[in-house]
Structure formats: structure tokens, C-alpha cells
Amino acid sequence: MKTIKIHENVPEVSAIGLGCMRLAGLGDEKDVRELAEASMEAGINFFDHADIYGDGEAEAIFGRAVTPEMRSRMVLQTKCGIRPGVCYDFSREHILQSVDGSLKRLNTDYIDILLLHRPDALMDPEEIASAFDQLKKEGKVRCFGVSNQNPMQMELLNSYLSEPLAVNQIQFSVAHCPTIDAGLNVNMCNEFGCSRDGGVIEYCRLKKITLQSWSPFQYGMIQGVYIGNEKFPELNRELTRLAEKYQVSESAVAVAWIMRHPAGIQTIVGSTRVSRIQEICRACEVSLTREEWYGLYRSAGKNLP
């Protein structure tokens, strides 16, 4: 398994992390423990949570399932800031309360990485900085990041924080990569030439912020899976061709496409099937050529200007 260094206070993390959103529906603690153990045997040491996953039950069942010895070998990330159906809330009070809740549910003394979950239009960066400082001082969180934020939102936050953001988690896949589209169509009068995120990949590379990819097998705003989807015939033909060439699954090729980018993007996969996780981890064995990377991009319906 390839690894990525996110922060000096956090152990190196696996280039592929397990997204835990679906754990609440997996079964009992035994099933979750077996999934976590199998994931670690495959080389994964990074587990991604959020306080809203399963209305907190995903964190809770994980906390009941994982032993202290297993926890010592894990890097745990969770998120806060979404009050479902109500608002986004980056207030100091909400952040502190959310972390205490996650710590209790996860049955751990500390969280390695805390992300602010989506942007809050009403965020007060001074409040956020105060909350982060307290969490760091109390040893509850080792480092901080965001999800789905653009460069100026991160720049505003960083101007108040005691230490810079370490992570930005964005939706990213071969079938959903508007930040790549805009970067390739600079100064072009077409749909792809519209920059919707302000150059987030370039900004994160400049600022040494680790990018994480969520929904690596989805297209659109979680419209569905593109692998095996008749809406993407050319992409699937190319995925199958490369899967046969490298003797891996199509999903592994899709993750290898993400990993091929020099930004060092960490991929978060949400499967609860051990065999599928093992297949996906073989993406680390694949190093796509430049021609293959662009071939997959073009087969997803993109044109090079």
C-alpha cells in the first residue's frame, strides 16, 4: 500500500482510506470488526467518519467494534458542521459539542483529523480558530481540514488559524472532475472552461494541503456509479481494457486514475465488502501511463481543446 504524509502529528496514512458512511447498515459489531481487520490486512490504516453518517450510528458501531489495540494502528478522521435539513454550523459551540460527541461514539480519546463538513456561509473564522485551538490544547484533535471548500474559503480560514489546514476532501473521479476540466480549458468559451472551484487542485498543491477524493466511482452529484453504467460505454470499454492489461478490477483502474495525479490525492472508498476492498487496494500496483490517463479522461466524454 502506498502512503501519504498529511501532518507531522499524524502517522503516514494509506493512499486508500475506508469511508465509514455505510457502517450503520452493515450488521453488528462483529461484522464491523471483521471489515476493519480485513481492511488493515489489505494495507488500509485510514478510516473516514462524519457525525451525520447514520445519524451518529456509524461512529457508534465502529467505536463498539474496534479494540484499543486496533485503534492504536488506525488514523481516524471525522467531520462536523452539518445539521441535516437545518443548516451548516461552524460555530465554536457546535464544533466543540460535535467533537465531544464523536469522541464518545468512537470510544477514543482523540481524533487524528477533524474536517469541517462543507462550507458554512455564516462562518466566523475567529470562532473556528478558537475552537480548533481549544481542541488541539486539550489533545482531542491532532490536525484540521475542510471538505468541499474553494481556495479563498481556505485562505480566509488559514489567515486566522494557528496552523494551516491539512486536508480538503472533494468529490473527484474520472467521471466527475470539473477542476481538471477547467484546468485544461483555460480561456476557452465552452462548458468545461468554467472554473467552478477557483483552481482548488493547484491551490492545495501550493499550500501542501492533502486532497481527498470522495465518491470515486460516482458521476454528477451522486447520480450513480459509472462503472458498468450504459451511460458511459466508452469509459467502461477503456476501464475493462486496462483492467485486463493490469490484471486488476475496473474499480482498481478507476482508483489508479486518481492516484496517478501528481497532487498525491488520497482516495476514500465506501465499500463494506471485504473482497471489493481487497480488489480496490490493488490500484497501488498500477501506474497508468500518460496516454492511458488521458485516454480514460477522454473516454468519459471529455475533449482536449
- Grid cell digits, residue 260: 496517478
**Is 297 known to be catalytic?**
no
pLDDT by position in tens, the chain (length 305): 999 999 999 999 999 999 999 998 888 999 999 999 999 999 999 999 999 999 999 999 999 999 999 999 999 999 999 999 999 999 999 999 999 999 999 999 999 999 999 999 999 999 999 999 999 999 999 999 999 999 999 999 999 999 999 999 999 999 999 999 999 999 888 888 888 889 999 999 999 999 999 999 999 877 899 999 999 999 999 999 999 999 999 999 999 999 999 999 999 999 999 999 999 999 999 999 999 999 999 999 999 99
What sign has the CA pseudo-torsion 291, 293, 296, 297? negative
By DSSP bridging, strand 167-171 and strand 266-269 are unpaired
141: helix, coil or strand?
strand
**In the block, which residue shows the cell 498543491?**
205
By DSSP bridging, strand 87-88 and strand 82-83 are antiparallel
pTM of the model: 0.96
* Topology classification of domain 3-229+261-272: TIM Barrel (3.20.20)
pLDDT, tens digit, 9 for 90 and up, residues 237-270:
999 999 999 999 999 999 999 999 999 999 999 9
* CA dist list (Å): 110 to 10, 97, 168: 11, 14, 20
Nearest to 214 by CA among 26, 20, 7: 20
* Catalytic member of 53, 226, 246, 297: 53
**Residue extents of the structural domains in the chain:** 3-229+261-272
Determine whether 191 is exposed, middle or buried from the number of CB atoms within 10 Å of its CB (0-12, 13-18, 19+).
exposed
- Grid cell digits, residue 248: 486488476
